[in-house]
Amino acid sequence: MKHLQEPTFRESVDLMFNRAVALMDLEPGLEEKIRVCNATYTVRFGVRLRGKIHTFVGYRSVHSEHMEPVKGGIRYSLAVNQDEVEALAALMTYKCALVEAPFGGSKGGLCVDPRDWDDVELERITRRFAYELAKRDLIHPSQNVPAPDMGTGEREMAWIADQYRRMNTTDINARACVTGKPLNAGGIAGRVEATGRGVQYALREFFRQEEDKAAAGLTGKLDGKRVIVQGLGNVGYHAAKFLSEEDGARITGIIEHDGALYSDDGLDVDAVRAWIMKHGGVTGFPDATHTAEGAAVLEHECDILIPAALEAVINMGNADRIKAPLIIEAANGPVTAGADEVLRKKGTVIIPDMYANAGGVTVSYFEWVKNLSHIRFGRMGRRQEEARHELIVRELEKLDDHLGDAWTMSPNFKEQYLRGAGELELVRSGLDDTMRTAYQSMREVWHGRDDVTDLRTAAYLVSIDKVASSYRALGL
C-alpha cells in the first residue's frame, strides 16, 4: 500500500527529474518544457457486450515530441488513471533518450481487468480502443507507436495492427504502427522476452564492474546470488528464468498478486509459471513455503531484489526494512521518491527503471525498423557470412590433419563458428550492446561527478542532456 504522505506517481517522477536538473545548467524555460506532459487524450467509448453497452475509459498521453514517432506501451488494468499514464509517458521520454531509441515518450492505458472478459470480448474492446486512438493519429507508424505493457501482449498488438490496417488500407508501412506483434504478424524474434532479457544484460554489466559491486557491498559473479522477484508476468518471468538458467542465480522468492513463495534452495521458475497459468496464482504451489502476505517478502534477505509488477511497492512504509543491497527496477516506478531517498541514505544501490526495463523499447525499435524496411534482419548477409566462415574452417581442418595430436579443433567449434547470425542472434547482439553502452554512460556520470551519488540521478542527467540537445536543434 502506498504511504499516505507520498506524492503521486507523476509527482514522484517530477521530483526525481527536479533533483537531476538542479545539477544542470539548462537555459531558462527549457527545464519546464522538458518536464511537462505535452498532451493527454481521454476517451470514453461504449461496446455492446453481454446484452448491454459497457463504457470504457482509456488514455493516451504524449509527453515529449522532440523526436517522432512517440512511443510507449498500452496498459490494461483497473488502476489505470491519468496521473499514472502521464508518469509512464515521461519515463518513456527519458528511457528512449538514455538508450538512444529515436522516439519521444508516450503511454496509454485502458481501465479494464482483462480477466473479466473472454477473448472475443477483449478483441472487440481492443479494436474499438484502437479505432478511437488511430482516428486521432494516436496510433500511427510515423507519429505514435504503442507496444505491450501490463495486461497486454502480442495478441492485443496483433489486433491493434490489424485494426489500423483496416482503417489505412493503402499504407504500405501500416505494420509499423505498433510493436510487440507476433512473429507471423510483422513482429521480431526476441521481442516477447526483450524486457526480461534486458534486465539480465543490465545485471551482467553491473557485475562486470568491481567498483559498482563494491558500492552495493557485493562481490563475485551472478552465480549463486539470491534473487527475489515480484511479479512473474512477462518481464519478471523472463528475467528470473534467464538469470537462474543462464547465470546460476538462485530465485529464492517469487511474489505474486495472491501471496509469495520462498525457498532458500531456489524456486523452479518454469514450474511456478506453469502453476500460475493453470491455477491463476501461486497459492497451493508445492515445494515452497507460501505466505499470503506477499509484500512482506520484499523485506526478506537477498542479494538482488527485482520488482517487476507495479509502481510504488517500495515506499515510505517499507523502505527502511528493505534488506536487499541491490534493487533493479524491472517495473516502472516501483520505488517512490520518498523511498528512494531512504534507500540512498542506507547505501542501497538502485538500477533505475528508465534503464533497467529499456530492453522492451530497444527491441521494439528494431521491430519498427524491420517493419519500415520490409525485410527480416540477417536475410541478406547470413549465408554470405557462413560461406566466409567455411573458408576459415577448411583451412583449420587442413591444419588439424597436418598437426595430428599436437593440435585439434575444439568439439562443437565448427558448427558454432559456421552458423551465421539470424534475426534472434542479431536482436540479442543489438540489445546487449544497447544495455552495455547505456550503463557505461550512466556510470561515467555516477563515478565522475562529486555531486552525483546514485545511478538514477546519473540516468536522468544523461537523458535530459540528450533531450535538451534535441530541443536546441529544433530551434524552439
Binding site residues, ligand NAD, CB under 6 A: 148-151, 195, 230-236, 255-257, 294, 308-310, 330-332, 357, 360
Nearest to 229 by CA among 239, 221, 220, 242: 239
The dihedral through the CA atoms of 428, 431, 435, 440 has a sign that is: positive
| DSSP reduced 3-state for 147 | strand
**Beta carbon of residue 56, minimum distance to ligand NAD (angstroms, whole number):** 18
Q: Which residue's Cβ has the minimum distance to ligand NAD?
A: 233
Q: How far is the CB of 15 from ligand NAD (least distance, A)?
A: 19
Active-site residue (options: 107, 181, 213, 370): 107
Give the nearer residue to ligand NAD in terms of CB position, either 77 or 452: 77
Residue 43 Cβ, how far from ligand NAD at the closest point, in Å? 21
196 or 218, CB closer to ligand NAD? 196
- State the cell numbers at 401: 590433419
Min separation Cβ 80 and ligand NAD, Å: 11
| Rounded Cα gap, residues 228 and 176, in angstroms | 36
End-to-end CA distance of the chain: give it in Å, rounded. 42
- Residue 7: is the preceding peptide bond cis (ω within 30°)? no
Q: What's the min distance (Å) between Cβ of 386 and ligand NAD? A: 32
Q: How far is the CB of 210 from ligand NAD (least distance, A)?
A: 29
Whether 278 is catalytic: no
Q: Is 43 helix (H, G, I), strand (E, B) or coil?
A: strand
For residue 51, what is the DSSP state? T
Give the whole-angstrom CA distance, residue 279 versus residue 283.
8
Q: Supply the DSSP string of 184-220, one letter for each residue.
A: GGT--TTSTTHHHHHHHHHHHHHHT-HHHHHHTT--S
Alpha-carbon distances of 59 from 26, 38, 110, 112, 469, rounded to whole Å: 31, 14, 6, 12, 29
CB of 473 to ligand NAD, least distance (A): 27
CA nearest to 230, candidates 242, 241, 240: 240
Nearer to ligand NAD, 73 or 325 (CB): 73
Task: Give the residue with the Cβ less far from ligand NAD, 244 or 357.
Answer: 357
**Would you say 108 or 338 has its CB closer to ligand NAD?**
108
d(CA 208, CA 210): 6
Q: Return the number of the residue (261 or 309) whose C-beta is nearest ligand NAD.
A: 309
Nearer to ligand NAD by Cβ, of 452 and 460: the residue is 460
Could you give the CA distance from residue 75 to residue 80 in angstroms, rounded to a whole number? 7
3-class SS shares of the chain: helix, strand, coil, % to 5:
50, 15, 35
Residue owning grid cell 470504457: 56
Instruction: For residue 29, count CB atoms less than 10 angstroms from its CB and return exposed for 0-12, middle for 13-18, buried for 19 or more.
Output: exposed
Q: Which is nearer to ligand NAD, 213 or 234 (CB)?
A: 234
CA angle 14, 19, 22 (to 5 degrees): 115
Q: In angstroms, give the least distance from the CB of 156 to ligand NAD.
A: 11
* Number of residues assigned to the chain: 476
Residues catalogued as catalytic: 107
